[in-house]
């Protein structure tokens, strides 16, 4: 039997609070929808890498799997950067951030546009990326 958390309102360590759209500034050229888009982007995009974060990946992966005609052909690939912690500890967080950004850019460039790339934090660690790839063979054109 597991213990109940002492604070039932505590947020799990991997969750990121969603910005509230009403808190976003609205200028003469901004609409409430623009504020919503800004808030949503801050909630689903990792600020260091520009890749999807855990929340964004789970949302997009769920949508892709549900709409796939062949979900059995979907692969999830987890990449862990070896020796990232020593790099971060000895060279500093800015160097670690450069390594993370470079990895995200490489994955985005080398994978298909339809593949999802996410930099996950929290339980999976700050040096891990996840890719969702649909391996269904593409039909050739006429």
Taking the C-alpha atoms of residue 73 and residue 76, their distance in angstroms, rounded to an integer, is: 10
Whether 115 is a known active-site residue: answer no
* Side-chain-side CA neighbours of residue 62 (13 Å): 6
Place of tokens 């969702």: 132
Work out the burial of residue 25: count CB atoms within 10 Å of its CB; fewer than 13 is exposed, 13-18 middle, 19 or more buried.
exposed
Catalytic residue among 46, 80, 89, 127: 127
Cβ-count burial 103-134 (b if 16+ within 10 Å, e if not): bbeebeeeeeeebbbbbbbeebebbbbbbbbb
Residues belonging to the active site: 127
């Amino acid at each position: 039997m597991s213990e109940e958390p002492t604070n039932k309102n505590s947020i799990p360590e991997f969750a990121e609070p969603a910005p509230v759209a009403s808190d976003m500034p609205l200028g003469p050229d901004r609409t409430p929808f623009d504020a919503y888009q800004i808030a949503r982007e801050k909630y689903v995009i990792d600020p260091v890498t520009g890749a999807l974060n855990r929340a964004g990946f789970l949302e997009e992966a769920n949508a892709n799997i549900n709409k796939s005609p062949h979900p059995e052909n979907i692969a999830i690939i987890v990449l862990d950067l070896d020796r990232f912690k020593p790099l971060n500890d000895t060279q500093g967080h800015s160097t670690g951030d450069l390594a993370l950004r470079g990895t995200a850019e490489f994955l985005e460039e080398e994978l298909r546009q339809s593949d999802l790339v996410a930099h996950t934090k929290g339980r999976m660690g700050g040096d891990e990326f996840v890719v969702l790839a649909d391996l269904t063979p593409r039909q050739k054109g006429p």
